[in-house]
Amino acid sequence: MTTTASTHIRASATSSATTLRPSPIATGILIIGALYCLIPVVWVVAASTKSAGELFSSFTLLPSTHVFDNLAQLSAYRDGLFWRWMLNSAIYAGVGAIASTWVSALAGYVLAKFAFPGKAAVFSILLTGVLVPGVILAIPQYLLLAQLGLTNSYWAVLLPQIISPYAIYLARIYAAAAVPTDVVEAARTEGAKEFAIFNRIALPMMLPGLVTILLFQFVAVWNNFMLPYIMLGDDTLFPVTVGLSGLLNQGASAPSMYTLVIAGALVSVLPLVLLFLLLQRFWRVDLAAGAVKA
């Protein structure tokens, strides 16, 4: 996300001076990159149209006609449990992303605009947090939440994902760039309370950056596997990632339900695609505007 911002600046700075000519090598590398990302998607789309027999026998990328059969079977699996998983994912990712964005914005704003003892230490610890993969924390988080008796509940998945060091780090950069200190001080002189300054003035100014964080967090929570996998025992609480994995691991004596899993995987990426299409324009236009002001 930060690279997008910086390339934007560089692009707009240089484009006025020289006309950019497409380089065949760079274009070639980008096309290979695009294929690398898109072929698996094409595979999922093609495979989701195949029946169980065709899946392993017909040509890989050749679509078939069974997409609606597969979806119907998927919906029928244990009385529509799949849709419950989708709803759970939406709750985890939706509530989690909004809460996490708000918390990150607040933390980032405070780190960027306030001077307080221990600030450098807090920020260093956060930076360390960025380097620690979430997977490593899943088990300690499980043991902590178990002491509160919160495992196997919505909270178990929501709470740990509200704090994201990386999102706070991003928010701090956006806050430093997008919220002029003069404006904050002017509001203070007018007698505005600190929370009001944050909610009414800083937050709207940071909005484009926050959309980025929101998208980023939504995708991270939606795709998260390890944390819900460890936290949850009740399969009606599963998000779609954990639920689909269960369909593939039914023990050696039962067949893996490949067609259902592939159809489910296709359905499960649609909300992400939709979200990106809807929020993309927000995020592109104003990010550059905010960045230039800095």
Residues that bind other proteins (CB under 8 A): 52-53, 55-57, 78, 91, 95, 99, 139, 142-143, 146-155, 158-159, 162, 229-230, 233-235, 245-246, 249-258
Pick 18 or 147: Cβ nearer other proteins: 147
In the complex, least distance from residue 137 CB atom to other proteins, rounded to whole angstroms: 14
In the complex, least distance from residue 132 CB atom to other proteins, rounded to whole angstroms: 20
Pick 3 or 249: Cβ nearer other proteins: 249
DSSP letters of the chain?
-HHHHHHHHHHHHHHTTS-----HHHHHHHHHHHHHHHHHHHHHHHHTTS-HHHHTTS-TT---S-HHHHHHHHHHTTTTHHHHHHHHHHHHHHHHHHHHHHHHHHHHHHHHH---TTHHHHHHHHHHHHHS-HHHHHHHHHHHHHHTT-SSSHHHHHHHHH--HHHHHHHHHHHHHHS-HHHHHHHHHTT--HHHIIIIIIHHHHHHHHHHHHHHHHHHHHH--HHHHHH---TTS--HHHHHHHHH-S-TTS---HHHHHHHHHHHHHHHHHHHHHHHHHHHHHHHHHHHH-
In the complex, least distance from residue 99 CB atom to other proteins, rounded to whole angstroms: 5
In the complex, least distance from residue 98 CB atom to other proteins, rounded to whole angstroms: 8
Residue 131 dihedral angles phi and psi, to the nearest 5°: -80, -15
Pick 229 or 282: Cβ nearer other proteins: 229
Pick 95 or 269: Cβ nearer other proteins: 95
Pick 41 or 87: Cβ nearer other proteins: 87
In the complex, least distance from residue 72 CB atom to other proteins, rounded to whole angstroms: 17
In the complex, least distance from residue 231 CB atom to other proteins, rounded to whole angstroms: 8
Pick 257 or 291: Cβ nearer other proteins: 257
